[in-house]
Structure 1
Amino acid sequence: MASTAAASGGERVVDESAYHFDAFRLDPRRGVLEAEDGTVLPLRPRSYELLRHMLDRPHELLRREALLEALWPGLAVTDDSLTQCISELRQAFGSRGSAVLRTLPRRGYVLAANVRREAPPADPPTAPAAARPTPTLAAAPGRDLLVIEALEPASADAAGQQLARALGAELLVTLSRSEIMRVLTRRPVPAPADCYRLCGAMLRAGEEPLLSLVLEDAETSRVLWADRVALPAGSGRDDALAVLLARLEMHVTGEALHRARHKAPEARRPHDFILLGRELHERGGEANTLEARQHFLRAIAMDPSIAVAHAFHAFTVIRFLTHGWGGGDRDVQCRLALDIAQRAVELEPRSALCQSALAFALLHLGRWEEAVEAARASLRLSSLSAIGTRTACAEVLAASGEAAEAAAALQAAIALDPFCPPRSRAVLGRALLLSGRREEALAELHRADARLPDYAPCLRSMVVAAVELGRMEEARDALARLRRLQPNWLPNNRQALAFLRDERDLERFVAAFEACADAVNPAS
């Protein structure tokens, strides 16, 4: 599919020079698509191959049949496979999608951009490339910067170098899905203080490639984390890369949060306030949520374009609403949360976090189908390490009647992080409960309760699970604790359970509360 050029002796070799088109650059040497600022735009391998095939044929009508044969030679695949690749390319191009890639109904597709090939640099380069702008700190608001260097190959032969490039491309695609880190392939100039570098080498471990990785502070070269990661073939490789992303995010976030805490308030960036607010938000409780909200509002005041700050702000509005903190008209607060979440999605439509905030706001307005659609979109965009995002999506799906789907989405994320926030286990417990898995549900609810004993939604689910398992003493104890937290809460208050779409789920909760309510002294 790639262009070829004549080499000495008449041999033809693959042309690895980069493609420039519209506001993008495709680099065959590293197997990545980049925006103008150097940000890597994630593409699956098949979508990458489709783009390169089209870049070699700009302004040509490419019929679907020819594309299917070029991408899947000799294989019987449906048109949906090609449609999915086209859709992924348009998502990567963002607002430029319709201008770059045109569809001619019932005929095919045209790459409508002018394409220029970049001469490959000399080896070694004698001067810095001047064809591309150097990325700056302003290109990454609201995230930490991670500069990933090319992997050193296991051997100097062509096969070893090709494998290193392929694995490096897979690593880039995985890391670029992070909403905590902004991945670049070159260090910004001037270099910001809060920037991290990931470098490593590809080794051999029998038949499996092994990555030896080092995470450093880009300014001081201080090592923050180092490890070796085996990359088995097939789906096992995707799981290994997901675990790797979770580890990197944990170390980068921990280091960035430590720095944010020790900065003077006047020296903090918007991202520092987001990190501080997120930590408080995950702790829960009225005082922590109120302080978290102030941090998010500070970040928005400093830079209104940071989408994740708006998304977190929407979550705090909903939490105040659902816990009854501060009063106010419910409908007004729901619409406010929706407006804030919609603003976040407008700023960054491919953000899993922003889509989950939108889903959560729609849920509390009773717009079930839209909420489920946004939650599923968020899950498609999110990495398994995005435990907070997946928790919100699972809560939306469980309340909307898709409890089994909710449990599956959240269990996969919790498996990567057994020390996840207790609220995530409480939401998993409710999803398991609603899908009929009561024993598993109660076990998760106990784990959540041990770390977050004053979380009312967890106690409500514990009451129902315990009653349905015949553990009445445990149910009464959970209900008594719930009433101490919320003295005015009534067991038959259907409005408090309005987030449940299925009338049968609502009846289960009401029946369980009523079954043990008479034995509990409200004043105890």
Structure 2
Amino acid sequence: MQQELTYRLGESVFNVSRGTLYRAGELVLPRPKTFKLLAYLARNPGRVVGKDELLDVVWPSTTVTDDSLTQCIRDARKCIGDEQQQIIRTMPRRGYMFQPSGALAVGPASVELPDGLERRRAEPCIAVFPFRSQALDEALKSTFDAVAEEITLALSYFRTLSVLAHYSTIALARTEPDGMQAALQEAGVDFVVEGRIDGGDPLFNVVITLSDTRSARRLWTQAFSFEADAVFDFHQTVAKRIASALVFNIESAAAHRLEPAPARNVGAYTHLMQALCLLRANGEDAAERARAHLWEAIAHDPQSGLAFAYLAWTDAVQNGYGRTPPERLDQALDHALRGVSLSPYEARCHRILGLTLMFRHDFPAAESHCRKALELNPYDADSIAQMGRLKAIRGNPAAGLELLDWAMQLNPIHPPWYYLDRGVVQLLLGRHGEAAETFACMPPRDVNRWALLSVCQALQDNREAAAASVRQARELEPGLSAATIRQVIMLEGEADNAWLRAALEKAGWV
């Protein structure tokens, strides 16, 4: 495996290998030229890079003035918070030098993966962008936003294809048009699926296009018309047409064997899609609003296994990662079991049941259902990351880190919980400095960030920094205790738990 290069730059974290930049836990999307300049400087730390060399790298075969380079340097410093010019230094009459305060090179050792999981990237890689629409009301717009995610999921069942995770695609979709092609190529996307929706009375008219990112050439276009009550069949139809347009040797068994049906009528489907949009948004009251839509979906279709599964998600996850009260976990388990019984071939139902069982500390059963989710959908980044966390919990953090790094490659612009899981695994491996770097990528308002940072700092004998992190955590949650933090980390073995109790005590938690 190639070594990763990651720089911690003040409150920014720049992963050169993955092409991601986070500042204070928030994703930053530099302009393509700015990113190219940053990446080149980061790969040449401590060396004066001349202006002519930078011009050749960033603007090959193009004549530009020094003002363009000066503006690009200014943008790069702004992106990483280097207003004091301490990281990108100007060397008068010579060029620029990248001089970070510290670099972290991460090269996880190759380990044996769990049985039945093969680490590879299928080709080609596809990104399904959110659909565009002008005339739809908000309810229908959110429905079709979620339909793009359903197409992503349906495509991922074809094992000769690789699909960029929906979270990453949403972030890429915000890129300015003049930088879109470069951004997609940086993310390793070979093809893009886009859609435009019109009408709705009585028919929806949707035009889907498939484009090659390298040539920007449209490879396939097709128009679809359907009535409102057929919307829940739409994503499966589109996924099959896209796959057929790309390859001729698709595993037809996968296409026909595993066709998750999220709902049986349009009312249920619409409420389910609105709930998924709310859960992704993570707003202040998003979980409760999502629950209302999920119950409406179940009222329309009592056989909607996915609606029950996401009710379990709101019970188990939205009430605290690993800290959900037992009564809510009992409720979550009931809903998750109902979801799997109604939709036994839906990978997400098994993944959510596995997560619920993990929070209940039933780790063998959790791993069994996570494995089932991966059998059904082997390229779902969230399931791979969840399996990585379970491997670490159960005493194999090396395999856990391998899986989490793989998940991050499949979903490079990932949600913040990936950092929580990866940092915990690094902590268990004794890589305390790397774990601190990872936890620092979490949002500043996340109490887990500061609690876990304090443990890393204490284990590095940096008691002053650890005490400061403890204070930050207690400002966010005054009643936070060592027992609560152990609930978040979750370990199966007694020796591991004894080590964790000692580490928390050293950090000042009681």
Q: What TM-score comes out, normalization by structure 2 length?
A: 0.48
Which of 1 and 2 has greater Rg?
Answer: 1
